[in-house]
């Protein structure tokens, strides 16, 4: 443990975190022990982290926003800690076995198919969607699993101090009595309506609060296997064929909640069973042997999941709530008790049909996706607009007016594609600019700016000050952000003159 912490604090140098994003000539971000952390590796990890957070919050997060939230510093600390653990693992000569890595990946519910078991096709699709190779993912899982084992060995058996326990207890159990008074409109009394002069004076002093933001009329086209799969019709007969070919996968075996008490010898097990026959309960026997529930509970298990076939056969032949006779297993002689029986079942076709049809549809469109993408690119190269390219390719483009917060003029959140920063792309472009497609895991988005409605200050009227017009919200002056470098007043006027 002391060696590990020594690695964390000794022989450790870091370049300035701000230099990472300013085109630094350095190629190494940090050195931990004998391991260098390449600058490009950290930049790539930072981009992946922002995309991950963007998918979680369903809003794009720019690198600048990420730095403002301190995500870069948090990721740097995490990267250094992980590198230190890897260094310690190499020093100790530790390595995770291939069998353990296979077990870890196979049991990950992310890659489970409709039957709840590992699905190679779903695994391959996930690797493609997240731009991973199988070798890279396995290597990362190997490092991650080893780090968990190292951390577990450090913290295992560590008991909190009395002071820590008392502090946590105070935090969780402390109660306070609060006296409060609720003040509403009735307590405010009668408020006279402000005069026109008062309204005008207030408006002139707070114009920025009544400024309507800049809007961009944007057309975009989303292409992804998921979107294409929604249009594919899979018949019940096709789904039934897949169901019948995998029928064994949809069979849920009998499961039982089994308790077990192990003995060092068969004679000790027989003596314990005699006590039960004399009236002692299974639970009292466990207490008498100073066993906890964790020592005796095997959980809700299937017959195949129990490691010892002899014990498994005896457990699944035992009636509910009865204690077995001594069972001599491969490693010990045990007494068994079944406290719950969950009969097996077969999932009906009607229940799993939607998942099977979705899987079939995704398989069918995998080859179509590249053809459709090339078709759109060919149309765009020939001068077609996004709407024209979509129509010729049998797809549907979407046009929407949005501000920098992703809201439409009526104040509602625009229905924009997830996992891609379309807003930044739209406000960083201009009318008539041919933009490169935006990529996200599993697909692409083409986007063009059709028009620009610049910021405008609402007129000074009594009704608008009382209730701001549609699209005008209480904002700071920063709502009207600087124009992109290639913006010109002529292009704005031309855009605004077009019908909306």
- Angle, CA 204 vertex, CA 202 and CA 205 arms, to 5°: 65
Q: Give the Cα separation of 225 and 391 in Å (integer).
A: 18
Distance CA 393, CA 371 (A): 10
Check residue 368 and give its pLDDT: 76
Question: Percentage helix, strand, coil, to 5, in the chain?
Answer: 50, 15, 35
Encode pLDDT of 208-266 as tens digits.
Answer: 777 778 899 999 998 887 777 777 788 889 888 988 888 888 888 888 889 988 887 88
Predicted confidence at residue 219, as pLDDT, reads 94
Integer Cα distance of 366 and 437 in angstroms: 19
pLDDT confidence tier of residue 325, bands split at 50, 70 and 90: very high
The average pLDDT across 132-152 equals 83
pLDDT recorded at residue 220: 94
Does residue 130 contact residue 440 with C-beta atoms inside 8 Å?
Answer: no
- 80 close to 72: Cβ distance less than 8 angstroms: no
The pLDDT of residue 217: 94
Write down the pLDDT at residue 26. 63
Q: Predicted confidence band at 470 (pLDDT cuts at 50, 70, 90)?
A: very low
Residue-level pLDDT at 497? 33
Strand partners, 118: 112
Concatenate the DSSP letters of all residues of 153-211 into one string: HHHTTPPPPHHHHHHHHHHHH-----------HHHH---PPPPHHHHHHHHHHTGGGGE
pLDDT for the residue numbered 156: 65
> What pTM was estimated for this model as a whole?
0.38
Predicted local confidence at residue 402, as pLDDT: 92
Residues 51-91 pLDDT 10s: 888 777 767 778 888 888 888 888 888 888 888 888 888 88
The answer to whether 498 touches 450, Cβ cutoff 8 Å, is yes
pLDDT for the residue numbered 451: 93
The string of pLDDT tens digits covering residues 147-182 is 888 887 776 667 778 888 888 888 878 888 999 888
Provide CATH code, domain 254-343: 3.10.50.40
Domain spans, the chain: 28-155, 215-231+354-457, 254-343
Instruction: Report, as an integer, the average pLDDT of 412-428.
Output: 87
pLDDT at 398: 92
Question: Residue range 473-489: average pLDDT?
Answer: 40
Could you tell me if 87 and 5 are in contact, meaning their C-beta atoms sit under 8 angstroms apart?
no
Q: Is the predicted pLDDT of residue 488 greater than 60, yes or no?
A: no
Mean pLDDT is lowest, of 34-38, 96-100, 129-133, for 129-133
* Structure tokens that stand for 59 in this block: 């809003």
Q: Which of 377-381, 387-391, 481-485 is the least confident region?
A: 481-485
> Does residue 491 carry a pLDDT above 50?
no
Report the topology of domain 28-155.
Answer: Triger factor/SurA peptide-binding fold (1.10.4030)
Residue 361's pLDDT band, with cuts at 50, 70 and 90, is confident
d(CA 292, CA 286) in angstroms, rounded, equals 7
- Which range (22-36, 50-64, 331-345) has the least confidence? 22-36
Percent of the chain having pLDDT more than 70? Answer: 84
What does the pLDDT average to over 300-316? 84
Q: For residue 155, what pLDDT is reported?
A: 66
Q: Among 112-116, 256-260, 385-389, where is mean pLDDT lowest? A: 112-116
- Both tokens of 269, joined, read 């097990």
Q: What's the mean pLDDT when you consider all of the chain?
A: 78
Average pLDDT, integer, range 1-28? 47
Residue 250 DSSP class: G
């Amino acid at each position: 443990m002391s060696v590990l912490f020594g690695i964390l604090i000794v022989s450790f140098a870091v370049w300035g975190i701000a230099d990472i994003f300013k085109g630094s000539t350095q190629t190494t971000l940090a050195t931990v022990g004998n391991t260098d952390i390449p600058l490009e590796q950290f930049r790539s990890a930072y981009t992946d982290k922002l995309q991950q957070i963007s998918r979680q919050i369903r809003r794009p997060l720019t690198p600048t926003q990420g730095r403002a939230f301190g995500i870069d510093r948090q990721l740097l600390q995490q990267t250094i800690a992980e590198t230190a653990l890897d260094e310690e693992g190499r020093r100790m000569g530790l390595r995770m076995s291939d069998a353990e890595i296979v077990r870890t990946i196979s049991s990950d519910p992310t890659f489970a198919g409709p039957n709840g078991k590992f699905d190679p096709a779903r695994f391959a699709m996930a690797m493609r969607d997240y731009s991973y190779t199988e070798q890279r993912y396995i290597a990362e899982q190997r490092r991650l699993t080893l780090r968990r084992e190292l951390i577990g060995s450090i913290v295992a058996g560590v008991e909190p101090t009395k002071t820590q326990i008392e502090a946590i207890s105070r935090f969780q159990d402390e109660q306070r009595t609060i006296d409060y008074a609720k003040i509403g409109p009735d307590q405010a009394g009668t408020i006279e309506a402000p005069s026109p002069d008062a309204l005008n004076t207030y408006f002139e002093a707070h114009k920025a609060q009544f400024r309507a933001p800049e809007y961009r009329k944007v057309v975009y086209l989303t292409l992804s296997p998921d979107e294409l799969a929604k249009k594919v019709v899979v018949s019940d007969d096709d789904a039934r064929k897949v169901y019948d070919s995998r029928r064994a996968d949809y069979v849920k075996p009998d499961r039982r909640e089994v308790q077990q008490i192990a003995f060092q010898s068969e004679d000790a097990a027989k003596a314990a069973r005699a006590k039960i026959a004399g009236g002692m309960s299974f639970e009292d026997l466990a207490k008498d042997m100073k066993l906890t529930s964790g020592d005796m509970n095997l959980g809700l298990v299937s017959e195949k999941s129990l490691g010892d076939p002899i014990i498994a056969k005896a457990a699944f032949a035992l009636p509910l709530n009865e204690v077995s006779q001594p069972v001599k297993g491969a490693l010990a002689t045990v007494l068994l008790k079944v406290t719950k029986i969950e009969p097996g079942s077969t999932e009906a076709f009607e229940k799993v049909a939607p998942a099977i049809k979705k899987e079939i549809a995704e398989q069918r469109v995998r080859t179509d996706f590249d053809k459709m993408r090339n078709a759109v690119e060919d149309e765009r190269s020939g001068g077609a607009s996004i709407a024209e390219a979509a129509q010729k390719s049998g797809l549907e483009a979407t046009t929407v007016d949005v501000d920098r917060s992703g809201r439409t003029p009526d104040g509602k959140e625009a229905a924009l594609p997830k996992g891609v920063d379309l807003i930044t792309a739209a406000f960083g472009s201009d009318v008539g600019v041919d933009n490169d497609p935006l990529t996200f895991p599993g697909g692409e988005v083409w986007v063009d700016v059709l028009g620009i409605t610049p910021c405008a200050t609402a007129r000074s009227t009594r009704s608008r000050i009382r209730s701001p017009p549609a699209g005008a919200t209480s904002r700071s002056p920063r709502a009207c952000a600087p124009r992109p470098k290639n913006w010109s007043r002529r292009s704005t006027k031309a855009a605004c003159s077009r019908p909306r």
